[in-house]
């Protein structure tokens, strides 16, 4: 299994999905080798136990395991390991900063480079170079392991999946959690699109996180429909936390409407703010919390100020772990106004913590959830009306909480893992 992020090295829903699937497969007794880039000079969270540096076997790779995953072995490759959601220009800025801080020597001295089909171009010091390095190291690791199937998550691992497939002759499955059209609209990065398309056409099977994503794969990348299977994401059941308000300028009697996600074009934060302004024209006793980070952060902060609602909008920055649980526990409503959302794990997490949910119809998760409110992302008037209805009517809020929480219990990672294994078995019978 090839993934670009995994807890504790996480920046979004991709890592959450990889964790949920891998943990479920571990319970099924599957042997999983998970290869991921490890950020240099980063701290490990408590659920990761380091085994030993594997310098004798794989230069630059470190093996570790999660304490509750006895059938899973991880190979973490030293890397700059930037966010899988960053744009190429952001990578170049971060790479130049890494050079200035002299953090690259640790990476470069620990890893030689391997030439192989599908990953032979030297891209230079940028995002694509990191992808090349990851592919080379993944291939060396794969040559020393015994496995049946290659499962690659999202575009940054597709070159590695292709390289490992060429080197070992094993079948390749790619898992599409998002596409370049989701992230960039019609202004796609051609190089990223080409990597995605190449991976989709080389792969024996494709797993898409929703029918919405499946349609994009077929229509935009020219893939045969029979090749693409839909496997919905799940959610891990958690115990319910206590509702505690932090000292962040929110009065106890104020309602809280939450946006939690990357602050990028794909997630529609400007539509959230537009709806917030319309809500505040009617309801004053409410605060809007924007939790996350991204390339639109400065623009959204300025937008809130220009609208005259800056004092009603709180920005928390990127949250992880217990902080995410706390902000859900504070919320009266979670809103996901995504412009194009292949799936959307955050609404499941919100429902899992008894938070009513309003999602855009342009999301894969809208295919599987019934007891939530839905709206077109661009229809901010209707979005505002639905927010007002939840805030003003406790009975509606209670109904959404109770039925939504019950509904989300049916979406389990164990089911997603079993469906992935079904795809494995189907593919093994045809190759």
**So what's the pLDDT on residue 362?**
97
**So what's the pLDDT on residue 300?**
95
Range list for CATH 3.40.50.2000 in the chain: 13-234+413-430, 255-408
Which fold would CATH assign to domain 255-408?
Rossmann fold (3.40.50)
Question: Which helix (DSSP H) or strand (DSSP E) does residue 182 occupy?
Answer: helix 180-184
d(C-alpha 90, C-alpha 72), whole Å: 33
Q: Which pTM does this prediction carry?
A: 0.81
**So what's the pLDDT on residue 94?**
52
d(C-alpha 358, C-alpha 117), whole Å: 46
CB atoms closer than 10 angstroms to residue 271: 22
- CA distances from residue 412 to 22, 48, 200, 330 in whole angstroms, order as listed: 13, 23, 26, 25
d(C-alpha 115, C-alpha 117), whole Å: 7
Backbone angles phi, psi at 373, to 5 degrees: -90, 145
Task: Classify strands 72-79 and 61-66 as parallel, antiparallel or unpaired.
Answer: antiparallel
Closest CA to 183 of 88, 113, 95, 251: 88
Q: What SS3 state is found at 276? A: helix
DSSP string of 65-96? EETT-TTEEEEEEEE----TT--HHHHHHHHH
pLDDT per residue, tens digit, the chain (431 aa), is 999 888 766 667 888 899 899 999 999 999 999 988 865 444 443 343 333 334 334 455 555 555 567 888 888 776 665 566 666 565 556 555 555 554 545 545 454 433 333 333 333 346 787 888 889 889 988 998 899 999 999 999 999 999 999 999 999 999 999 999 998 888 899 999 999 999 999 999 999 999 999 999 999 999 999 999 999 999 876 544 333 344 455 666 789 999 999 999 999 999 999 999 999 999 999 999 999 988 899 999 999 999 999 999 999 998 877 889 899 999 999 999 999 999 999 999 999 999 999 999 999 999 999 999 999 999 999 999 999 999 999 999 999 999 998 899 889 999 999 999 999 998 888 76
**So what's the pLDDT on residue 66?**
57
Task: Classify strands 172-176 and 150-153 as parallel, antiparallel or unpaired.
Answer: parallel
The listed CATH number (3.90.950.10, 3.40.630.40, 2.60.40.10, 3.40.50.2000) that belongs to domain 13-234+413-430: 3.40.50.2000
């Amino acid at each position: 299994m090839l993934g670009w992020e995994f807890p504790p090295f996480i920046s979004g829903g991709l890592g959450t999905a990889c964790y949920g699937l891998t943990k479920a497969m571990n319970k099924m007794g599957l042997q999983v080798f998970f290869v991921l880039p490890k950020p240099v000079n980063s701290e490990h969270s408590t659920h990761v136990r380091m085994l030993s540096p594997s310098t004798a076997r794989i230069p630059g790779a470190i093996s570790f395991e999660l304490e509750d995953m006895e059938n899973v072995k991880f190979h973490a490759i030293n890397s700059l390991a930037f966010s899988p959601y960053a744009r190429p220009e952001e990578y170049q800025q971060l790479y130049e900063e890494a050079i200035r801080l002299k953090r690259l020597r640790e990476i470069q001295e620990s890893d030689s480079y391997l030439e192989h089909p599908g990953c032979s171009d030297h891209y230079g010091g940028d995002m694509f170079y990191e992808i090349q390095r990851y592919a080379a190291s993944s291939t060396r690791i794969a040559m020393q392991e015994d496995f049946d199937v290659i499962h690659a998550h999202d575009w940054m691992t597709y070159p590695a999946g292709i390289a490992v497939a060429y080197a070992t002759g094993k079948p390749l499955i790619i898992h599409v959690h998002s596409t370049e059209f989701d992230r960039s609209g019609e202004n796609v990065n051609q190089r990223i699109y080409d990597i995605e398309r190449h991976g989709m056409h080389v792969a024996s099977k494709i797993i898409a996180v929703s029918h919405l994503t499946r349609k994009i794969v077929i229509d935009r990348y020219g893939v045969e429909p029979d090749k693409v299977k839909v496997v919905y994401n799940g959610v891990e059941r958690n115990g319910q936390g206590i509702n505690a308000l932090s000292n962040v300028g929110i009065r106890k009697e104020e309602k809280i409407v939450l946006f939690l996600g990357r602050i990028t074009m794909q997630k529609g934060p400007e539509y959230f703010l537009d709806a917030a302004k319309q809500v505040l024209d009617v309801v004053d006793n409410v605060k809007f919390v924007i939790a996350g980070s991204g390339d639109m952060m400065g623009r959204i902060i300025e937008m809130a100020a220009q609208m005259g609602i800056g004092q009603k909008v709180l920005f928390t920055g990127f949250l992880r772990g217990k902080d995410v649980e706390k902000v859900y526990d504070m919320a009266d409503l979670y809103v996901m106004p995504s412009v194009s959302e292949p799936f959307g794990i955050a609404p499941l997490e919100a429902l899992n913590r008894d938070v009513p949910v309003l999602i855009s119809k342009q999301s894969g998760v809208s295919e599987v959830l019934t007891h939530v409110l839905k709206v077109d992302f661009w229809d901010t008037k209707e979005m505002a009306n639905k927010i007002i209805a939840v805030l003003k009517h406790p009975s509606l809020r209670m109904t959404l909480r109770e039925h939504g929480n019950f509904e989300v219990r049916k979406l389990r990672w164990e089911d997603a893992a079993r469906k992935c294994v079904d795809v494995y078995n189907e593919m093994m019978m045809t190759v």
